[in-house]
Chain A
Amino acid sequence: MEEDQEKYLEDARKVVKEQAYFMRASLEKAQLKDALRYSSAMLSELKTSLLSPRNYYILFMQVFDEMRILENYFKEEYRRGRKMPDLYESVQHATYVIPRLYLLITVGSVFIQTHEIGAKVILLDLLECIKAIQHPLRGLFIRYYFLKLCKDRLPDTGSEYEGTGGNIDDAIEIIIRNLSEMNKLWIRMQGSKDKSKRERERLDLKVTIGENVTRLSNLEGVSLDTYKTKVLPKIIDIITSSKDAISQTYLMDCTIQAFPDEYHLQTLQELLKVCTTQLEPTVDIKNIFINLMGRLADFALNNDMGTFNSEVDIYSMFKQNIDKMLDSNSQIEFKNLLDLQVAFLNFTLRCYPNNSEYVNDILKSCCRLCERQNETDFTEECQKNIVKFLAMPLDTMSLSILTMNEYPNLMKHLPFQKRRQVAIKICQAVVNLNQVIDDLKITGELLKFIQPLLITQNDYVEIPENEFEEEQQLVARTVHLVQNGDLAIHNTILQQFIAKFQQGEINRQKYTYPAAIFALFRLIQLIAAQGGPQTQETQYKGLFEQIRGLIEVLQGHFPELALKLNLNFLLCINIVDQAQEFDEFSYDVGTQIITIFQDEIGDSNVKVVLLNQIMSTFAKLNCISGENFDTLAGNATQQAAKLLKKNEQAIGVLNSAHMFYNDHIKNVQRVQECFKKAIKIANQSIGNNPKFVYVFIQILNKYFYFFEQVEFKDAEIQEVIKMINEKLPKALSDNDEQSKKIKILWTATQELVRERKRRSIQAYQQINI
């Protein structure tokens, strides 16, 4: 079938080409009669019924180009003295109606240009004659030809044809008539067979009809007033008198696109009324509204908003008409109504960004709409729309819209996955807005909405791990936005979050608890910054206890996490409790850390890292009293000696020295002990492994660290240097990774000593390496 099409078109094009050639040859010889005969033969190809609309269009354009040549020749003929009335008659002798009318239109166009006859007379006569083509496709095209040739011959205001040739009313009348007839033919194309194919074919042709509307909009004489009183009513007539959805959709759209936005503003009520009450139920009114709202919104944003607001109450007009549609028992699908609501909300948010009342009203309408539906009506697509509906206002309006009553009412129509989506969108909006959460009521609402993320609900559906993690981190980020100058309120808000988190089970708490804990740390610091607790709710004790409780929950499942949180906890306490009021409490936390380290952490590599962190944390603490601290630090040192590898033990013990000599403690003896112990462990191992020299170099460096605060025995240091000098050549003899590491460290050490010596620092003078 498709192949046939190609062939039909090819054949027709060949004939057109051939006849056009003869036509032009005759014109060159000034043989008009022959030229007319050949052009007739050429035009006769347009009589075909074989071509698809697309291919017919291709053929038409080919013929069209040739006809321009003939038209120009007619003009020359006129200049040479040919009587146009005679020519206008003689082409009407043609036997077949298609060539006859194409020729007549062509002559007619030239006839008008001679000004010997009024444009209106010829145009109306042509329109009358064209009625002879009742075949939909051929009729559409001959009218398209009429439009193309005559669109510049209209008695438009200010045109050369105005006056005796008619006036703007005639111009409008002519185009409207053509539009009306083309529309009828277009609808007739639909036929009854092969519905979707026909529809496709029709859509291929829509621009030919639309060009009438475009021409109307281009008429100079169509002022706002003319549009209102003469053009729009006629277009509406055409639209409403046909009962064809495709036509109605297209013409509405076309009208909206073609005419200026100010015109639409002034006739909005009529346009909307037509849309809501007079169109076929299958017309996609939503799209029309969306287009219209889109244009008006753009117009509003590009123009003075003041005029936009005061002149016409656009919001109310849309609102009334949309509500009318919602409430009438029309056959418009729920899905489409929802789409419409979404579009309307979008429009309102763009044009009235600060009017939350409008938003709430639209939400109300939407709720009303949803209430009426059966559960099965909420298809995937509808749900998506409701999600959009709920999330959209968040992007532009403050969180306060969460307090609107209608929000939860809409939410309840959604299944878990969609509620979860809304929750995520809300969270994202909150995070993106980066606005502080400082209101109790809003927090309450917010927590209600994001409940799907916080608590396992009845219709819960398992979520992939990575998505789950992402969503929980989003929740975590939300908590950090909590803030209020009144720290009691700040605390209360936080407690609201925590209360929800507590219902959230351990897999969520893994993410939410640390967030809550850090939020509490921050609160505690804020309290301290205000000079300590001012109210009952913000006493440290309670907060500390709460934090400890939260960490304990995590400890069973995530010991490492719990350990690290505890370390941070200690640092937090350390900031606010230099007076050691919570000495015992802090000690307990420290003990807890050691216990977790000892009992719960298995991986030796992890242990090395953690122990390092523990020691460096402990080294910063001043919130624990001396005796307690000694115990803790001692325990930590013991843990170092229990590490898996000798070098780890030696370095661990060496590092524990920091816990005994820092800003808070100056226990020289314990430091010296650490060195001794470390050297002892190192000595035990170096016999078997010359590479152990690395540990010795580190010990040497650690000496340097403490050089100025702590006195060491010179012999002890020299011993270490001696060991290094002895073992180094052997250790460096390999060319493996370890040797390289040793070399780098040793070079750096040498450099350091050289540099200190240069600065004449006393202690280094006897170091010779």
Chain B
Amino acid sequence: MIRLLQRGSIAKFDIYLDGLDSRKTGRFNDKQQGLLKLPIYQGDDDISGVVDLKMNKNKKIEHLGIRIELIGRIEILNDQKQSSDFMSMGRELDAQGILMEDKTYKFQFNKFEKQYESYYGKEVKLRYYLRVTMNRNYGQVKKEVEFAVQIVEQDQEDQPQTSLKLEVGIEDCLHIDFEYFKSRYHLRDVVTGKVNFYLVKIKIKYMELAVIRKEQIGQGNTQQTENDILVKYELMDGCPQKGEVVPIRLFLSGIDMSPTLKNVSGKFSVKYILNLILIDEDDRKYFKQQEITVYRKK
């Protein structure tokens, strides 16, 4: 039940979504609101519920109409001008008139379009919410309730995998190749692979694997990129000799990730990068980055 008290206002809305007991929820880390626990809608899911209107001891309220909207919105956090709704659907709950008592309205959006995944990132978020509004001559009474949309990408699952293989080195100093056995991973997947050491003349202290999230906002010259290291994972302790093969195994389930998002509504993208880093005894770093695709699996 989500309830928002509108103190001092003339009336108060409550929105109750149907079937929350059986609906999956997810946790989302919102930069402004903190940790959110939201119901999740997928595929052909409808969203329906009731709106409770409380008169707050008023005998009668004149209004210009009551409306509920389902809104999908991209917010660029440090540039509100760039924020915009990418979808908006509305239903009229009550026509202009006078309310004499508390009232309950049912609403329903059948199979509403779920074009994008919900996303709560560092500089950008993509959120879905329901908004009920009562317009009056002076001012509005409003109430919003947030929910999340997740998209299962079956086609990603069905496509054959290719491995990511890369040979890198510094002449006469270091020569390795590394391989991730897959290029696409679902959110609860395991990154596996191996690193072959062919030539090691530097004194390696350790090797780690970092997962980097890259938010790209806008396009062209004005594009701004935000890199976030989600996790650093030690892969190797000490310095191997040539011929050694060190395994890579990283469980993604422990990391707070979204699927890869590509050019969402022309506004932003989210990419994931694996960064393999060798650190030598003088704390110099040698690294190589590889983009992977992350998708949601059923």
Contacts and interface: CB of A to CB of B under 8 A. Distances in A.
Interface in A100-135: 100, 128-129, 131-135
Given A92-B249, A131-B245, A97 B236 contact: yes
A131 B246 CA distance: 6
A84 to B, nearest CB: 16
Contact of B234 (A95, A128, A139): A95
A47 interface: yes
14 contacts: A92-B249, A93-B254, A97-B235, A97-B236, A131-B244, A132-B246, A132-B247, A133-B236, A133-B237, A133-B238, A134-B238, A134-B241, A135-B239, A139-B238
Given A89-B251, A95-B232, A135 B245 contact: no
Given A89-B251, A93-B251, A188-B241, A134 B233 contact: no
Interface in B63-105: none
A707 interface: no
* Residue among A129, A133, A134, A136 with most chain B CB within 10 A: A134
A136 B232 CA distance: 23
Interface string A121-158: 00000001101111110110000000000000000000
A414 interface: no
B240 interface: yes
B283 to A, nearest CB: 14
Contacts of B249: 92, 129
* Residue among B204, B234, B236, B249 with most chain A CB within 10 A: B234
B1 to A, nearest CB: 30
Contacts, number: 55
Interface string A171-192: 0000000000000100010000
Nearest to A133: B237
Interface in B209-257: 231-241, 244-247, 249, 251, 253-254
Contacts of B239: 134-135
Given A92-B251, A93-B254, A95-B232, A135 B238 contact: yes
A136 B204 CA distance: 13
Contacts of B244: 131, 134
Contacts of A136: 238
Given A131-B247, A135-B238, 12 more contacts: A89-B251, A92-B249, A92-B251, A93-B254, A96-B234, A131-B245, A132-B234, A132-B235, A134-B204, A134-B236, A135-B239, A139-B238
Nearest to B231: A95
A454 interface: no
Nearest to A139: B238
B233 A138 contact: no
B236 A132 contact: yes
Interface of A: 47, 89, 92-93, 95-98, 100, 128-129, 131-136, 138-139, 184, 188
Interface size class of B (residues with CB under 8 A): 20 to 34
A47 B236 CA distance: 12
B127 to A, nearest CB: 29
* Residue among A135, A136, A139, A188 with most chain B CB within 10 A: A135
A139 B206 CA distance: 13
Contacts of B238: 133-136, 138-139
B211 to A, nearest CB: 12
Contact of A132 (B231, B237, B251, B254): B237
* Residue among A89, A129, A132 with most chain B CB within 10 A: A132
A49 to B, nearest CB: 9
A171 to B, nearest CB: 22
Interface of B: 204, 206, 231-241, 244-247, 249, 251, 253-254
B289 to A, nearest CB: 19
Contacts of A100: 234
A188 B243 CA distance: 14
A134 B237 contact: yes
Contacts of A139: 237-238
Binding site secondary structure of chain A:
helix
A133 B236 CA distance: 6
Contact of B237 (A89, A98, A128, A188): A98
Contacts of B254: 93
A10 B284 CA distance: 31
B237 A138 contact: yes
Contacts of B233: 95
A135 B244 CA distance: 12
Closest 3 CB pairs of A and B: A135-B238, A134-B238, A93-B254
B229 to A, nearest CB: 12
Contact of A135 (B231, B235, B237, B253): B237
A129 B231 CA distance: 19
Contacts of A95: 231-234
A138 B244 CA distance: 16
Contacts of B245: 131
Contacts of A128: 247
Nearest to A185: B238
A233 B281 CA distance: 39
A258 to B, nearest CB: 28
A224 B236 CA distance: 39
Contact of B247 (A129, A138, A188): A129
B257 to A, nearest CB: 14
B280 to A, nearest CB: 13
A128 to B, nearest CB: 5
A134 B240 contact: yes
B234 A97 contact: yes
A100 B246 CA distance: 15
Contacts of A134: 204, 236-241, 244, 246
Nearest to A130: B247
A146 B237 CA distance: 17
A97 B249 CA distance: 11
Nearest to A96: B234
Nearest to A136: B238
Contacts of B237: 47, 97-98, 132-135, 138-139
A188 B242 CA distance: 12
A128 B206 CA distance: 18
A132 B232 CA distance: 15
A133 B241 CA distance: 12
A139 B239 CA distance: 11
A182 to B, nearest CB: 14
A366 to B, nearest CB: 43
Nearest to B240: A134
Contacts of A96: 234
Nearest to A138: B237
Contacts of B231: 95
Contacts of A47: 237
A381 B234 CA distance: 55
Nearest to A142: B237
A332 B30 CA distance: 74
A96 B240 CA distance: 17
Contacts of A133: 236-238
B193 to A, nearest CB: 12
Contacts of B251: 89, 92-93
A97 B247 CA distance: 12
B196 to A, nearest CB: 12
Contacts of A138: 237-238
A133 B233 CA distance: 14
A184 B241 CA distance: 10
* Residue among B237, B239, B244, B251 with most chain A CB within 10 A: B237
A100 B232 CA distance: 14
A402 B233 CA distance: 76
A366 B194 CA distance: 56
A129 B235 CA distance: 9
Contacts of B234: 95-97, 100, 132
A188 B237 CA distance: 14
B146 to A, nearest CB: 29
Contacts of B204: 134
A128 B235 CA distance: 12
A188 B203 CA distance: 13
A688 B240 CA distance: 110
A478 B157 CA distance: 99
